[in-house]
Amino acid sequence: MVQRNLQQRITTDIAGTIEQGIFRPTPPENSISEMNALIDSAPDISAERGEELKRSFETWVNTINNPDAPDAYRPGTPFAGKSSDAYFNQFAIRLALAEAQKKGLDGVIFPNWEDFRDAGGRPVAQIRQADGTTRSDPDVIPRTIYEDHVKKGLKQAVDSNDIVELETIEAINPTTGNLERPQIQGRDHKSARAVYFGDRIRTRRYRPEDRPSPDETTYEKTLVH
């Protein structure tokens, strides 16, 4: 009996402690009322400014501070929907060019998609056959990202005359200072694309859904370094 009573007391104490530790948010109407009273009591605040502060706080309570509200503020991703990966990969090309130019680099080389495939570490697509079985295809994913998306990203970023087709990739060996062909899997790199920076004219392109009026579809701008 004593043991049972002691166990009951311990259980009650634990429940009370947990109850005290549970965070219970203040109802929005209470928060608004308390803030309004605080604003009204603040010195050197005009009535107009006070009303502005009250409206701002009420908006904050009902949006940012309450994510479940119908009119809550919900930041979205700029790459949404079923084409989000494609949009991101194409955007990454434009970003790489912009950042490289900002850093004062000579340009950017985009290796062949087959080089990325042969380098390994890429996911392999599983293709479903007509008979219900699946087969592995190591070409699908790297070709989609590093060929299709790179081509579209470059088309959006630069004029076709700015894209240089390379037979292979050559680079200065920092140790010897010689121009060499870096190897990948024991062979030279395959053909590649490059964009070299210089004073050039760039034509801006828009996606069809972003296209403005016909007289504003393009502009020309000389890039200054």
Same domain, 102 and 196: yes
Same domain, 120 and 215: yes
Q: Is residue 147 part of a domain?
A: yes
Q: What sections of the chain are H helices per DSSP?
A: 2-21, 28-41, 47-62, 84-102, 113-119, 140-143, 150-157
CA 133 to chain centre: 35
Q: Is residue 160 part of a domain?
A: yes
Q: Is residue 74 part of a domain?
A: no
Same domain, 102 and 168: yes
Q: Tell me if residue 96 falls in helix, strand or coil.
A: helix
Q: Which residues contact 105 (CB under 8 A, 6 or more apart)?
A: 197
Q: Is residue 75 part of a domain?
A: no
pTM comes to 0.51
pLDDT at residue 199, as a whole number = 54
pLDDT at residue 135, as a whole number = 87
* Alpha carbons 113 and 126: distance in angstroms, whole number: 18
Total domain count, the chain:
2
Q: Is residue 71 part of a domain?
A: no
Same domain, 46 and 90: no
Low-confidence spans in the chain with pLDDT less than 50: 1-3, 18, 21-23, 200-208, 217-225
Nearest CA among 118, 107, 138 for reference residue 186? 118
Same domain, 144 and 212: yes
Same domain, 34 and 89: no
* Alpha carbons 108 and 96: distance in angstroms, whole number: 8
Q: Is residue 110 part of a domain?
A: yes
pLDDT at residue 2, as a whole number = 45
Q: Is residue 35 part of a domain?
A: yes
Same domain, 25 and 131: no
pLDDT at residue 42, as a whole number = 83
* Alpha carbons 37 and 51: distance in angstroms, whole number: 12
Same domain, 126 and 183: yes
pLDDT at residue 76, as a whole number = 59
* Alpha carbons 73 and 61: distance in angstroms, whole number: 11
Same domain, 39 and 91: no
Domain that holds residue 192: 84-222
Same domain, 94 and 167: yes
Same domain, 127 and 197: yes
Q: Which residues contact 87 (CB under 8 A, 6 or more apart)?
A: 78, 79
pLDDT at residue 110, as a whole number = 92
